[in-house]
Chains A and B, each alone.
Chain A
């Protein structure tokens, strides 16, 4: 033990601080610009405070989990919720994996709240729904009970649907409907898998952390496919990616940033936290299918991205390619690859948040997101161009940035097991890199367009969220050793259960 002790309600506060913010925002009036600023401040305050708490928690976790603290989790709360034919608990826990993703969640939401200063219509609803989403995401990351997990997972559906439908682009209604249908399908599949686990797991409880390896083979297979399909829909991987492309392209930049940076990784987190350790035999048996899907998805995403003329649709296909790479890591199931998966999720979250928010900024300043109409923006907006290139380098995995360690560990872990798949995914990353370079050239370089001569560079508000994101990308890239032991500690439990199965 480290001797350090956090308050017993620490995790509850981390999860529900955003919800408290939502209640406050709900009670605030929205009559004029002053009211709107106050609402944004409450949103930013709730999210920022959560981020600060997570940072404190992260430092504690780094000591407790990473530096020989000898603990399995950095914090835990466990209270009985209800007893039926099984016992369900209000069980929150944060291991190394959830802790780094909580940090990403805090960073993404804080950035999006800074970005919300660009939102002038129905600010209260916008901020309120984002706070509900943050509660849901943090709740999912901390849940250690299947019913509680489902509760938080399902909580994201209505707010995100409202956000896409109200604040989206021209085709938002279709995109929102498609999202809603797939999100409910995903939820139904995950719920069915949870019912199977609870009833057939023989534990008389819905605790996620328990070992369910004694599930019969047919139950394992059924549960695995239900759970995997549910989370794969949420990840937006091939062939279940159409909703993701549409909704991410049509949602407003802030909402798309949350969806790309957090909600897609949340699907991968679900597979990592529930599917793999609960159904170890089936996971091993069907790993090759996952690898196959990863290969097709990575190539499809990279090639389709190149074919886009819409900047946001390009980013949506980048999501598909990157989540496919993550899927390959999940197929491999070695501890090196899984640590790589976590780092890749972190890098993806940070990079895609920067790229999506900046794509929104570009659209706002130029009134277009068509690549054929954009060009030469670097002359007017050099800071924006710099940040864009930095985010691109993070996304493609350049050394000393967060993406590199993730790509490296994932590919190094995957190569001995799925050589061809690894090579193909690597090739897709190269195609994507070329695509990114081509897009950067088209948007920022080349001859300056007359229509864009008055385009403003990154403002103070934009710098306020871009600079911290850059700092954390560098931190993860330059000093991965500060985080790796903590993440490895979290992965250890998963790999132990995988090997046990």
Chain B
């Protein structure tokens, strides 16, 4: 067994492809503003597909590598390994699905389409970079790029005050989190004299209290990206003011970036800094789980409910990371990657159905959904699959993902948190199952709704996502193999 010897360009090919095509889209958009919006969408799709293929080939080439590292550059500050490649594949796949679902909004985007898809590619590349960095300045830079890209999306998408409100909220909350990240990095740099994860651990002895403070700041910043409270008002505003699919992209990409950055920081040498803060992290997990289940019981809007369920999922992802950070079993990263994949897909699936409802003129309140099973059985089935996956109800993929995270938490010594996770999952499932029943049980003042009035491609992709949520249970083994392969290099 030996390490793979490849060039920087080859190792970073997925990111280069995404950024290169993002630039081409942006230039085309400036030069030919009257070009069809669809063109930019398909260029973005090609870029994302190419990134997935490039990352898959690299991952395949790494199969014989002992440490799973393809490239370690700039004093170890940048590393391309199985983990970063797996995150590239997962993030690109999420972005790809979102691009395919965007049919409804293409016409509305008009001349802003080029900017929109260039930003989508930029955000995806930023997530990929968050997974590949091992240095605090790179972390901060990638964080800010992702934050700016995600903030720009609603502003580009909508010209009314709603889009601006969402962008402002995200920028303000993200700015606070970014500042915390920067303060934390600065504190640790002040003590250790380095920003590289690998060299920081030696400095912990020099000022443990100060380093703990720095670690807490970093954890706070990354928790925002992952989607944990308190800095997540922007998600609620986004659900209210921005169409569903872009919200899906924003929340899922933020979650992916946050999870990747946290696991990377934890694995690459920052664990000695973060370990003292694990108690705070655990408390954050518990409070988030309790909060999400409590809020879910009261919520009357489907979009907000999906976001609230996403908050619980983010807490579970953090639980897996904490399990790993506490020196737990080596399966925690695999659990996190596996759960990330399923949680992300289930969120996108749920938002995709919400997008279809929005396209048909339904506001997405629970009253709008009453009797949907009669008006549009297919839409109701899709929504039921998506919500039951979100809820973690068997036999859908969400159940296996939650079970595996709980197992890894138990195994890492967080049995009590795992018990709370099971209990809160059950509580969160109550409103979601009730909505599913309401799709067929009730007959409110129903507005006519035909699934076939929504764009065909979006319909097909949404259907595949929802039904795929069921098959993810059957496909648990190949997905776990992929996750384990990806997580292998962070051990």
Chain A interfacial positions (CB closer than 8 Å to B): 26, 80-86, 88, 122, 125, 147, 150-155, 157-158, 161-162, 165-166, 176-177, 180-181, 184-185, 187-188, 191-192, 195-196, 198-199
Contacts and interface: CB of A to CB of B under 8 A. Distances in A.
A150 to B, nearest CB: 7
Contacts of A122: 440
Interface stretch (B199-207, B224-232, B309-317, B391-399): B391-399
Interface residues on B, range: 35 or more
A154 B389 CA distance: 12
A122 B429 CA distance: 25
Interface hub of A151, A158, A180 (most chain B Cβ within 10 A) = A158
Contacts of B440: 122, 125, 162, 166
A155 B395 contact: yes
Contact of A84 (B331, B394, B427): B331
Contact of B393 (A154, A177, A198): A154
A328 to B, nearest CB: 30
29 contacts: A82-B477, A82-B480, A83-B477, A84-B331, A84-B407, A84-B480, A85-B329, A85-B411, A125-B373, A125-B440, A147-B400, A147-B403, A151-B395, A152-B394, A154-B395, A155-B394, A158-B393, A158-B436, A166-B440, A180-B433, A184-B426, A184-B430, A184-B433, A188-B422, A188-B426, A192-B422, A195-B407, A195-B418, A199-B410
B381 interface: yes
Given A165-B437, A184-B429, A184-B433, 14 more contacts: A26-B381, A82-B476, A82-B480, A84-B408, A151-B395, A152-B394, A154-B399, A158-B433, A161-B434, A162-B436, A166-B441, A184-B427, A188-B423, A199-B410
Contacts of B399: 150-151, 154
B293 to A, nearest CB: 11
B329, B394, B425: which has the most chain A beta carbons within 10 Å?
Answer: B394
A158 B437 contact: yes
B419 A192 contact: yes
B426 A154 contact: no
Given A151-B395, A192-B419, A84 B437 contact: no
A199 B411 contact: yes
Nearest to A88: B476
Interface in B147-172: none
B441 A165 contact: yes
Nearest to B329: A85
B410 A162 contact: no
A157 B430 contact: no
B394 A151 contact: yes
A85 B405 CA distance: 11
A88 to B, nearest CB: 8
A198 B476 contact: no
Contacts of B329: 85
Nearest to A191: B422
B410 A195 contact: yes
B473 interface: yes
A69 B433 CA distance: 46
B211 interface: no
A185 B425 CA distance: 10
Given A80-B477, A125-B373, A166-B440, A150 B403 contact: yes
A77 B373 CA distance: 37
B403 A191 contact: yes
Given A85-B407, A151-B395, A199-B407, A162 B426 contact: no
**Of residues A88, A155, A195, which shows the largest number of chain B Cβ atoms within 10 Å of its Cβ?**
A195
A36 to B, nearest CB: 15
B404 interface: yes
B334 interface: yes
A196 B408 CA distance: 12
B440 to A, nearest CB: 5
Interface string B473-488: 1001100100000000
Q: What 8 A-B pairs have minimum CB-CB distances, sorted nearest first? A: A154-B394, A82-B476, A184-B426, A82-B477, A188-B426, A151-B394, A166-B441, A85-B331
Contacts of B261: none
Contacts of B357: none
A198 B476 CA distance: 18
A195 B402 CA distance: 12
B319 to A, nearest CB: 14
B310 to A, nearest CB: 20
B406 interface: yes
A122 B421 CA distance: 37
Contacts of A199: 407, 410-411
Nearest to B418: A195
Contacts of B262: none
B254 interface: no
A147 B473 CA distance: 11
Contacts of B433: 157-158, 161, 180, 184
A122 B408 CA distance: 43
A198 B407 contact: yes
Nearest to B332: A85
A199 B404 CA distance: 12
B289 interface: no
B335 interface: yes
B93 interface: no
B388 interface: yes
B388 A158 contact: yes
A120 to B, nearest CB: 15
Contacts of A191: 403, 406, 422
Interface in B443-476: 473, 476
Nearest to A128: B440
B334 to A, nearest CB: 7
A187 B429 CA distance: 11
B409 to A, nearest CB: 9
> Which one of B329, B411, B418, B433 has the highest number of Cβ atoms from chain A below 10 Å of its Cβ?
B433
Contacts of B395: 151-152, 154-155
Contacts of B419: 192
B56 to A, nearest CB: 21
Contacts of B408: 84-85
Interface string B258-269: 000000000000
A111 B437 CA distance: 25
B430 A181 contact: yes
A343 to B, nearest CB: 30
Contacts of B410: 195-196, 199
Contacts of A185: 426
Nearest to B439: A162
B406 A195 contact: yes
Given A188-B422, A195-B418, A162 B441 contact: yes
A185 B424 CA distance: 10
B414 to A, nearest CB: 12
Contacts of B407: 84-86, 195, 198-199
Interface in B371-388: 373, 381, 388
B18 to A, nearest CB: 31
Interface centre among B403, B404, B408, B480 (most CB of A within 10 A): B403
